[in-house]
Amino acid sequence: MKYRQWLEIWLNTYVKTTCKARTSNIYRYRVERCIVPHLGEYELRDLSPPILQQFVTDLLHPTRGKPLAANTVNGVISVVQNSLKTAFTLGHIDVYDANKIRRPKTVEKKVECLSTLEQRQIEAHIKCGKKLKFYGIIICLYTGLRLGELLALEWSNVDMDACTLTVEKTCYYVNGQRIEDAPKTVNSLRSIPFPKQLLPLFKEMYKARKTKYVIEANGKPLSVRSYQRSFELLLNKLKITHKRFHSLRHTFATRALECGMDVKTLAELRGHSNPTVTLKRYAHSMLEYKVQMMNKLGKMFA
């Protein structure tokens, strides 16, 4: 059996039926764009470690076209390994040795977050503008919600007496269709206390509600792309350097650490399984706070 034939069987029988639609889509994209053009015509039994390693090298250093980033290549390697492991389990190949592939070293993505001044600008503009859909930006700044979690948030998930949000699902789009599913990981199912200062915003939104969703416009839930675009336009209007919507989640984490929140609590609020992940990601991003602390230390010299 050729590898491309097995990949199609694997995607339809084992991935599509056991993974989220978004994950299945990502796997198929990697198969069709990266794996099949290079390895599709090989017989399953002929995919030896040297051939697989050469495949990785070709992705990183192609003779033609644009090289793929190490993080992307590692995602492709995972698809190759998972597909061949299933083939081995089912007896289609005699040996599983795709685990011998040497992965490229990944580079930690730089954490993007708003400065304190930029955050204050955004908050002031939203509070003055009174556009209720933009209140979601403030909610993210003070709860660390992911965009999909924000747009899937329903009023039944908001306890205004206890000032808490319950994250039960997220939303994303596949081929233009809105899908609501369980959050990213098991740890993403969580309850988040929100600052009591946000309560008037929630009450104002609740009073004007037209759907079950907290974030809406004209009686309809908002799409991920639409909300991202609204955020981009807001940054442009305020002449703030472009940042992804996800930077709001990073900003929440950075401000929380600057306020003295312990790492374990922050990890739980963000839905991280391991506090070490949180500390590693944000310890280097608190430049403003570090400057304040160093200047405080410097007073001894003065």
Tally Cβ neighbours within 10 Å of residue 268: 16
- End-to-end C-alpha distance for the chain, whole angstroms: 76
Look at the alpha carbons of 30, 31, 35, 36 in this order and tell me if their dihedral is positive or negative: negative
Please state the three-class secondary structure of 234-290 as a single string: HHHHCCCCCCCCCHHHHHHHHHHHHCCCCHHHHHHHHCCCCHHHHHHHHCCCCHHHH
Pair of tokens at residue 265: 């609590």
Reported as a single tens digit per residue, the pLDDT across 21-64 is 888 989 999 999 999 999 999 999 999 999 999 999 999 999 88
> What is the β-pairing status of strands 164-167 and 158-159?
antiparallel
Per-residue DSSP letter, 115 = -
Q: What is the pLDDT along the chain (302 residues), one digit of tens a residue?
A: 999 999 999 999 999 998 888 889 899 999 999 999 999 999 999 999 999 999 999 999 998 889 999 999 999 999 999 999 999 999 999 999 999 999 999 877 777 889 999 999 999 999 998 899 999 999 999 999 999 999 999 999 999 999 999 999 999 887 788 888 887 677 678 999 999 999 999 999 999 999 999 999 988 999 999 999 999 999 999 999 999 999 999 999 889 888 888 888 888 888 877 777 777 676 665 666 777 778 888 888 86
pLDDT for 186 equals 72
pTM for the whole structure? 0.78
Pair of tokens at residue 144: 């660390």
Tally Cβ neighbours within 10 Å of residue 139: 25
- In the chain, pLDDT over 90 holds for what percent of residues? 69
| Domains of the chain, each with CATH number or no CATH | 3-100 (1.10.150.130), 116-292 (1.10.443.10)
Please tell me the total number of residues recorded for the chain in this structure.
302
Q: Distance between alpha carbon 182 and the CA centroid of its chain, in Å?
A: 14
Reported as a single tens digit per residue, the pLDDT across 177-198 is 888 888 767 767 899 999 999 9
Residue pair 228/151 in contact (Cβ under 8 Å)? The answer is no
